[in-house]
Amino acid sequence: MLDRVAESFGQKCYEVPVGFKYIPAKMMETNAVIGGESSGGLTVRGHIPGKDGIYTTSLLIEMIAVLGKKLSQILSDIKEIYGDLTMEERDYPLSEQKRDRIYQRLLMDKLIPKLPFEIEKISYLDGCKIYFRNGGWVITRFSGTEPLLRIFCEIPNAEDAKLICETYETFLSL
């Protein structure tokens, strides 16, 4: 969804590995306006190159005040313009042996399961992220802080997101 919003404003979304430390560096390299992560960390060009929840909250409050709309209505407006995507997130605890087996399969051998959508491209920037032609994607990556494998899928239909995660569960014997 962020790609769609950025494109409509003549901007480009950039992806970096997980970890907020990578965001300010990419922003400086590309002169990006805003940078953030899924856990809510956000920074804005011209402000400090780190997370600032108070500043972020004040920007959100300003948006609500300027638009004169509830946050729920703003979200509804965004979905009306850019479409709606659903997110499925799953975590799987891993033994060291299982982690090594999955690492070999996904990142060294670069094997992927048979998926129900046409693939546009695959990125190995941080795990294995598959982009579908329908605008959806799925990423399988190892947590950097816990012995977990994470699977995230963003796609227009919730049932499709579940199917893709279940396909990976079977493929990786989770």
Tens-place pLDDT, residues 134-161: 989 999 999 988 999 999 999 999 999 9
Q: Do 93 and 167 belong together in one domain?
A: yes
Find the mean pLDDT for residues 85-108: 94
Residue type, 78: I
User: What is the predicted pLDDT for the residue at 112?
Assistant: 96
Domain count, the chain: 2
Same domain flag for 113 and 63: no
In this structure, the answer to whether residues 115 and 73 fall within a common structural domain is: no
Do residues 74 and 6 share a domain? yes
CATH number, position 29: 3.40.120.10
pLDDT beyond 80 at 77: yes
Average of per-residue pLDDT across 83-100 = 93
Selected residue with higher pLDDT from 15 and 64 = 64
Point out the domain boundary residue: 24, 50, 82. 82
Can you give the chain as a three-state secondary structure string? Answer: CHHHHHHHCCCCCCCCCCCCCHHHHHHHHHCCCEEECCCCCEEECCCCCCCCHHHHHHHHHHHHHHHCCCHHHHHHHHHHHHCCCEEEEEEEECCHHHHHHHHHHHHHCCCCCCCCCCEEEEECCCCEEEEECCCCEEEEEECCCCCEEEEEEEECCHHHHHHHHHHHHHHCCC
Q: Is residue 106 within 8 Å of 22, Cβ to Cβ?
A: no
C-alpha distances (whole Å) from 51 to each of 64, 98, 151 are 21, 34, 25
Same structural domain, 74 and 126? no
Residue 17 has pLDDT above 90, yes or no: no
Residues 141, 123 within the same domain: yes
CATH of the domain at 157: 3.30.310.50
- Residue 106: pLDDT band (50, 70, 90) is very high
The answer on 135 and 111 residing in a single domain is: yes
Domain boundary among 54, 82, 110: 82
The last residue of a domain, from among 82, 105, 136: 82
Provide the residue range defining the domain that includes 62.
2-82
Q: What is the pLDDT of residue 170?
A: 95
